[in-house]
Structure 1
């Protein structure tokens, strides 16, 4: 809004998850940019720290039962920054404390939907399958993701080395959206240009799984872009049961075989 009104802005501090990116589309390319889980001193201010979450759960005025605390930690476990600092999404924690039940607070925006449709053409599902199977993904790190640049990739999507670059950049974008976290067990192996990523928590996993399924299997209809969506009863259990069905297992085997053939011949 400030940019649209032409107001001179010297400093801006954005806290929490990032839904915009420095690009010619957003007008933020001239600002100094601090990544949500990047290597800088502001990470603890971008979310709740472990001590803050522990204090909130222990506060008697919220009247949280032990099973509710366990449920919240299972769904909304924190994300690790580049340097191993752990922060929690404040919206998820505060919504759970207020409503005393599980809500999906992580956002699926239109950029992400379009990215999935674009990368569907190059079988982008292989790295996603690894992440959804709780595996670690090794990528080359980009300091920021330019949204407009990724949209241009559709024109050169099947040309090496743009394939690898495209996957790396979309993974960095998923960090900003709160889906992915740095793998705390691989911190010693990280460099300035190589990082190891995992799905941030169960909330991120289940939301990413729904988006993945809607893109590749086209069974689910995703809700419109909202910051807070209340799932149906036992939504997480239903998703996990569907992911283990015999048809999913069969499709997964067929897809994995096609991906191995594709990687062996098409890209090289």
Structure 2
């Protein structure tokens, strides 16, 4: 069963979608979209995920934040979405009175937003996928591709490609550029003030937390480069898809969310 509803966020009206079976459990998932992505997600991926969770007895609430999709208002950017998330959580609880626990799930900057605000709005657990670690709302090509972890990943991929190795051996590679790249790859990853805020806010969160990383994803690599390596909450999947595209990765993501809801 899927129904659409409206709810207030200050003076603005936001649009949400509720997926649930007629007989549902007491735990739900609040799905927070990343970037300026509408609540259906890339290629409808979030809508499909919500339907699969609902079929397993987990109600799911998705919404468009202010200024995105069908919702009114001005987009505040992910750093300032506390009120949007809190309003969506209140609407979810009102729509499904049987809920006792709500798990927040977000990918990329939605994960960062949940890390920043989850401790203050009444969520009971968090599932954070490929958290965004840059201060900007959108990926900056130079910042993203220039991160040491991303550079190392690119060079490893090139060394595994016989054609690239042949280019190196036959002089088809700019050695000065290669040297600059290798120097950049050995630099320690810079830790931004945003990461410090995310870590401090997450430390205040009293519920269970799961961090999911697609090991081939550049955003996940950037997160790993600045996050404690021994964090037991981190789980990894050998996927290059930022949104865990592909049936195997999607099934893995679904299982992790079901585990969190249980």
| TM-score > 0.5, shorter chain as reference | no
Question: Which structure has more helix as a fraction of its residues?
Answer: 1
Question: Which structure has more strand as a fraction of its residues?
Answer: 2
Higher relative contact order (CA 8 A, sep 6+): 1
TM-score between the two structures when normalised by the length of structure 1: 0.29
TM-score between the two structures when normalised by the length of structure 2: 0.30
